[in-house]
Structure 1
Amino acid sequence: MPPASSKSEPSNSGSYGAVILGRDLVGDTVAAMVASAFVTPSVVLLDRALVEKSSFNQPIIEGLRRHSQNCLKKPVSFIFSRPFGIVWVLYAVTFGTANATETVASRLKSTTISSLSFIPISLVNVPLGIWKDLKLAQIYSAQPTERAKVRQVVKRVSRASMTAFLIRDSATMFGSFTLPTLLASAVPDSVFASPHGKIMATQTTVPILSQIVSTPVHLLGLDYYNRNSGATVVERLSRIRADIMPATVVRCVRVLPTFGFGCLLNRELREGYLGLCN
């Protein structure tokens, strides 16, 4: 009898661990879906205003005001629109990957996996982000009768441009999902005494500061996309210098609701779910 009992314990333990892991991953998924629904409206409105500014030279503030009013007048149509679904998928998958990576790291008790979580997040976020940008550009930059033509002339993303976008999003993901947690302990107790207050402080500031690094790389990627060949290094740097300030401001504004408040909500929902289960 004792040997039989000792053999059954690992099996039971493994089955129980699998159930717990599955339960936690369900919570990770639900938290990601809810957090994504929270950040999606602001991203859709801002991205539409930016595309219309680039395509039709319409003022960004005027576009935000007009589209926000339409969103409030017809919320159901807005929520079930194609742009909303595209953006929601991007952030739901991004948050879900971050949550799942953290769950696996905690089960394996691996700080290395946790600190490198930005790598799988970036591998998911980069292609989906490019897909999102191209789709919204197709939808918002042309009239309905012209959209078929726009789809036909969409450029292929060059290797240099893709590399720049990968570095850009890796910096943003590292500054949004990994660095805030690492820097939270460095916040003085005189500023925020509780660990919760410290993580809130870093989560709403570090992603914004990360745009100082990622914006020049973003502009370089765009330049390679628009001018894949024929431009010198000096010409590319000159273009980046000309656009760096307004582009940095816009990217900082965009990242606050998504990877600032959005990450906080995702974290709170995930931890709340785990607290109820445990």
Structure 2
Amino acid sequence: MLPAITVVVPSVDAIQHQVEAAAAVAAAAVALDPQLDQPDHHRAPFSLLLKHWGVDIAAALVASFGVSPFITVVDRAIAENASGRRTLMNGVKELSRSFVERPLQFCKSREFLWIFGLYSATYATANSVGSYYEWKEADGQMPKLLATTAVNMSLVIAKDKAFAQMFGVTKTHKFPVTSMGLFAVRDALTVVSCFHAPKIIMEHLREQGMNEKLATGLSQIGAPVAVQFASTPLHLLGLDLYNHPVADRAARIQFIQREYWRSSLARVARIGPAFGIGGIGNTSFRQHMRARLSG
């Protein structure tokens, strides 16, 4: 029997405020542009940009809602497995059953709202910054990357901290700064694997004679998947520092070795929805709605 615990979790309002704050990152960045209010007869009207921003937010919400259930199941199962609350496979099976049997209750849970808010904010930031620089007729790849990375990393770290506190088996206590640092390094590796490594890998594969389409696909999928095997120990150590603050080095190494493969494979499994299906859904819905605006 698990001991009774007192859990301090963020309120729904707090999650909503984080999403709004994340969306404000993009708005603040473009609002500081001194050219924003300057007339330009060669540029589309600002009202069109506002409509595009509306589509951007709608696309982000739809895409996030589509992938959040699966990611919620995996992330909660990993957190509970790390704390010893229940095994990874039991967590995945029981949480999946909960979603199928009580979908409304599942989607009202705090863990689902964390994931939904995180990916909504990430997609909305990428969309809105992209739309702004498209309207401005300027290269926005770097601002888009920086804004999206800042929003995603900050919210992912906050989410993992919340999950560790919600699904631990000990009384809630201060979250270690070291764990936050480990999560930051983990997410930096993910960003590199998603935005920088694929291009390098693709060029190498092309030099080896592989056709461009196959090289692009393998690099875009292979890099984020491969990095999970390097970043999972950081994730597990960050959780263990919170769950077992007085454990010695040998115990931590033993824990990581025991949970490495199952946790790595679970994190690989969430790559598809998080960076593939969600991204494709976001782009497709956004393009469809913008085409309807133009029509």
Give TM-score scaled by structure 2 length: 0.67
The aligned amino acid for 1:154 is H
Contact kept in structure 2, 1:203 and 1:263, CA below 8 Å: no
Q: Which runs of 5+ in 1 are unaligned?
A: 1-9, 143-148
Is 1:77–2:102 an aligned residue pair?
Answer: no
Task: Give the TM-score normalised by structure 1.
Answer: 0.71
Residues 70 and 257 of structure 1: CA distance in aligned 2, closer, same or farther (over 3 Å): same
Matched, 1:155 2:171: no
Going from structure 1 to structure 2, the CA distance change for 1:53 and 1:212 (only over 3 Å counts) comes to: closer
Deviations 1:224-261 (A, max 9, x none): 767999989x9999987776544432321222211122
- CA deviation after TM superposition for structure 1 residue 138, in Å: 3.3
Contact kept? 1:39, 1:262, Cα under 8 Å = yes
Matched residues in 2 for 1:276 and 1:200: separation?
29
Query: What SS does the aligned partner of 1:155 have?
Result: coil
Report matched runs for 1:28-177 at 5 Å.
Answer: 28-56=56-84, 58-111=86-139, 113-115=140-142, 117-142=144-169, 150=171, 153-158=172-177, 160-176=178-194
Structure 1 residues 68 and 244, CA, compared in 2 at 3 Å: closer, same or farther?
closer
Q: Is the 8 A contact 1:122 1:166 kept in 2?
A: no
Contact 1:215 1:247 in 2 (8 A): yes
For 2:45, what is the secondary structure of its paired residue?
helix
Query: How many Å apart are 1:39 and its aligned residue?
Result: 1.2
Q: Which runs of 5+ in 2 are unaligned?
A: 1-37
What secondary structure sits across from 2:225 in the alignment? helix
Structure 1 residue 69: Cα displacement: 1.6
CA distance 1:60–1:40, shift in 2 (3 Å):
same
Which one has the bigger helix percentage?
Answer: 1
Q: What is the aligned-residue identity percentage?
A: 27
Q: CA deviation at 1:52?
A: 2.6
Hey, what's the Cα distance between the residues in 1 that align with 2:94 and 2:244? Answer: 33
> 1:137, 1:222 → 2: CA distance?
6
Q: State the alpha-carbon separation in 2 of the partners of residues 89 and 80 from structure 1.
A: 12
**Aligned 8 A contact 2:83 2:243 in 1:** no
Cα distance, 1:272 vs structure 2: 2.3
1:90 is displaced (CA, Å) by 0.9
| CA deviation after TM superposition for structure 1 residue 221, in Å | 5.0
**Which whole-Å deviations, capped at 9, do the CAs of 1:49-108 have from their partners, x for residues lacking one?**
223322335232222222212221111111222221121111110111122232233334
Q: How many residue pairs end up in the alignment?
A: 255
